Structure 1
Amino acid sequence: MGTDTKPGYLNGLNPAQAQAVLHEPLSSLQILAGPGSGKTRVLTTRIAHMILEHSILPSNIVAVTFTNKAAKEMKDRLKKLIDPKRVEEIVMGVYISRFSPLELTNKGTFHAVCIRYIKIYGKFLDPPMSKNWTIADASEAKDLVASVCKSNDELKSMVDFCRNKISWYKAKRMSPDDLEDLAEATENKFQQRQYKQVAYVYEQYEKKLKSLNMLDFDDLLLEGCRVFEQIPHANNNIHVMLVDEFQDTNFVQYDLMKLMSRRRHVSIVGDPDQSSTCLGRSETFLTATCSLRMESCRDW
């Protein structure tokens, strides 16, 4: 390729987008921009650039987004830039038939990526993952919470509240014991009662999941964290990591990103103004932004 010839995959990109695509692949990159600015296109083209120009193996790339639509869009765009067979080698989730309900809705998400690693390394954890576990989908998880709440007059009307709170606390990697500690620490009687109620439902819900040998969606992320915390070499194949729609990342997903990408070769794309109104997610985006900047991340 001549010095004045640019790769065809850069056609149609403006100078700023092209610079982001060409940024050194084995370093961090943060792309913050608004809707319609081509963020996902830049991320997708950056993946193609890593493979075509830097000979990074597709199997050494983890690309994560947060919706099935976005994952499909990313794959479809990549297949126009590189060999479709190579696109399938990128770690964006693996089709496993008995997990198909989750796979259909979360292909390319942190959940799907965690399934891949839990299946490989779960038996080596301490304590080890049980065999033949299945996934409790949203409806099944709610039914289990309801079965706990409906056995207690005080909790009968709190099914949705408790289910949402359990998911919220799992996203912060907090256990029922942590909620009991919060209850003891607060002098607000209403909050204290609420912490204790949710802690009770949370604990009983976990027992029911365990008895059924099931994981809910939040557990997939928590067990994924356990894999990378206990088995450092589990991420040896991850040379670069790219995360789309990063503003929708919660705390446990951010922990996963850090654990999976110990080399710190991370590219994130997001729009803080589009972040969920959920405070935890906004805090996560700010924390990640500061962390990446301290690691000499390049901003675009």
Structure 2
Amino acid sequence: MQKDSFIQQYAAGLNPQQLAAVQAVNGPVLLLAVPGSGKTTVLVTRLGYMVLCCHVPPAQILTMTYTVAATHEMRSRFAARFGDELAAEMTFRTINGLSAVILQYYSRTYGRRQPELLTNEGDITRLLGDIWQQVNREFATESTLKELRTAITYIKNMALTDAEIEAMDTDLANLPELYRRYQAALKRAGQMDYDDQMVFALQILRAAPP
């Protein structure tokens, strides 16, 4: 499809900045805008532009979002605009969904048993509560455990080193020891949490040959 025809049919309502984002398909692009400003519309239109005008094979496009709900919305909005058949050829996943695929492929390819995903937040909270009591000799409040959970997520998502964990400015008593014991408990049980799932997937990608 010619660019002018595509714009007339699918992007006539976009403003100049949105249209520029739709056509920016070479290299990384940052689309920064407030909620409700049409980011999803721009992203969906950009996907169609890549396929119909730039001839990018739809099977080679991965659209990744943070939540399952956002994934379903992206897929349904793309299908509504460009058709179910084309949408079926494309991949829409959450970050954790993609991580799960990478771990499954690695496990099958190399015969490795991947850790079991710990999905019950209640189980994680109880584990953290037990560890807090062991380390700090007191019962943790619900708010403290939430803060600890947030700190652990931050440590993993930022890929902090041991030295950086030790240097963290926090009100959580003995955070480095709490983190080490939490990770050791998961390893003994052959488990991982959602943050580990992303960390392990990234480690596999970094170790994969170019």
SS at match of 2:192: strand
Query: What amino acid is the match of 2:18?
Result: Q
Distance apart, 1:15 and its partner CA: 3.5
TM-score between the two structures when normalised by the length of structure 2: 0.81
Q: Partner of 1:120 in structure 2?
A: 105
CA distance in 1, matches of 2:50, 2:2: 19
Question: Contact 1:176–1:203 (CA<8 Å) still a contact in 2?
Answer: no
Identity of aligned residues (%): 23
Contact map agreement 2:107 2:114 (CA 8 A) in 1: no
Residue by residue, what CA displacement relative to the aligned partner does 1:203-232 show, whole Å, maximum 9, x if unpaired?
111111112211101101111210111014
Amino acid at match of 1:110: I
Q: Structure 1 residues 209 and 40 mapped into 2: Cα distance closer, same or farther (>3 Å)?
A: same
What runs of 5+ residues in structure 2 fail to find an aligned partner?
Answer: none
Cα deviation, residue 45, structure 1: 0.6
RCO higher in 1 or 2 (8 Å CA, sep ≥ 6)? 1
Higher alpha-carbon deviation: 144-153 or 68-77:
144-153
Query: What residue is the counterpart of 1:32 in the other structure?
Result: 32
152, 173, 188: which one aligns with 1:211: 188
Contact in 1 for aligned 2:115/2:192 (Cα 8 Å)? yes
Structure 1 or 2: larger helix share? 2
- 1:167 corresponds to which residue? 153
> What's the CA shift string for 1:48-68, capped at 9, x where partnerless?
111122221223222222233
SS at match of 2:92: coil
2:64 is aligned to 64
TM normalised by structure 1 equals: 0.59
Alpha-carbon contact 1:65-1:110 (below 8 Å) kept: yes
Segments of structure 1 that go 5 or more residues without pairing to the other structure are: 94-108, 184-190, 234-300
Look up the match of 1:22. Answer: 23
Task: Tell me how many residue pairs correspond in the alignment.
Answer: 205
Q: Distance in 2 between matches of 1:156 and 1:3?
A: 63
Which entry has the higher C-alpha Rg, 1 or 2?
2
Residues 1:136 and 2:118 aligned together: yes
2: CA distance, partners of 1:3 / 1:207? 55
Cα RMSD (Å): 2.9
